[in-house]
Structures are given as structure tokens and as C-alpha cells.
Amino acid sequence: MTACLVSNNLLFVTTNGSGWNALGDATRRAIVASLAERPRAVGELADELPVSRPAVSQHLKVLKEAGLVAERSEGTRHIFRLRPEGVAALRDQLDTFWNRALANYTATAEDTEESS
């Protein structure tokens, strides 16, 4: 993760595009949870969170780069929604991790029973 100064007060955070890295921040997880309910404009998200509009925009940029959100314009408003493909990719990875963990647990339990 790298950071550069955007203004005197705002730190702009970038990631390598990984959805897992993007979700490592509590504010971005809150944005994803909000967008899971329905698409929202930047201002709506900022009203729900204890951060500024520019900060929300920066978090949305990270989520967009990670493939987790999509954006469309309605006049001057930018409406964001979750990308089902991005969320499904994370879920597939998590399912893979979980299945491996269960298989390893089962193998370990069987080895323990055999040696008893």
C-alpha cells in the first residue's frame, strides 16, 4: 500500500487492486454494506458516514479499482452500486479458503483418530 498527499489534510490511499485489500478499511466496508442495500450517490454515502465527501470519493475510487463497485452518472450526480461479479469473485475465493480449511481439519482429525 502506498500513500501520497492529496491536500494539506487528506491522505490518498491506493491499493494494488485487490478486493481483499480494499475491504481492509472499515470505512470501505461500511460503504460496501450501504451499497448492498441499494445504489447511492456520493453525497448520500457521506451523509451516512463520519467522513467528508472527498474522503468518500477516495474510498469509492479504491473500491472501483478493485472491481467491487461500478459508477454511472445521472446529471451531475455519480451513482455507485456493487458489482456482482466483483463480490462473487471474493466469495469464490473465500469458499475456496473455507473448503481447504475444512479438508485440512478433516484430514488432521482422521490422522489423530488413527494414531489414538
Q: What's the pTM value of the predicted model, to 2 decimals? A: 0.74
With 50 as the cut, is the pLDDT of residue 12 above it? no
Same structural domain for residues 19 and 49? yes
Which has more confidence, 29 or 109? 29
Question: Which residues, other chains included, contact 55 with Cβ-Cβ below 8 Å and sequence gap of 6+?
Answer: 10, 27, 46
The confidence score (pLDDT) of residue 112 equals: 85
What is the total count of domains within the chain?
2
Q: How confident is the model at residue 11 (pLDDT cuts 50, 70, 90)?
A: very low
Nearest to 28 by CA among 50, 51, 60: 60
**Residue 90 shares a structural domain with residue 58:** no
pLDDT exceeds 90 at position 39: yes
Name residues whose C-beta falls within 8 Å of residue 90's C-beta, 6 or more positions apart in sequence.
19, 20, 23, 68
78 and 89 together in one domain: no
Higher-pLDDT residue of 2 and 66 is 66
Query: Could you tell me the residue range of the domain that residue 90 belongs to?
Result: 84-116
Do 9 and 52 fall within a single domain?
A: yes
Mean pLDDT of 49-63: 96
Residues 77 and 94 in one domain: no
Q: What is the mean pLDDT of residues 23-47?
A: 96
User: Looking at the structure, do residues 74 and 89 belong to the same domain, yes or no?
Assistant: no
Whether residue 96 sits in one domain with residue 45: no
Q: H helices within the chain, ranges in order?
A: 19-22, 26-37, 42-48, 53-65, 84-115
Residue 45 has pLDDT above 90, yes or no: yes
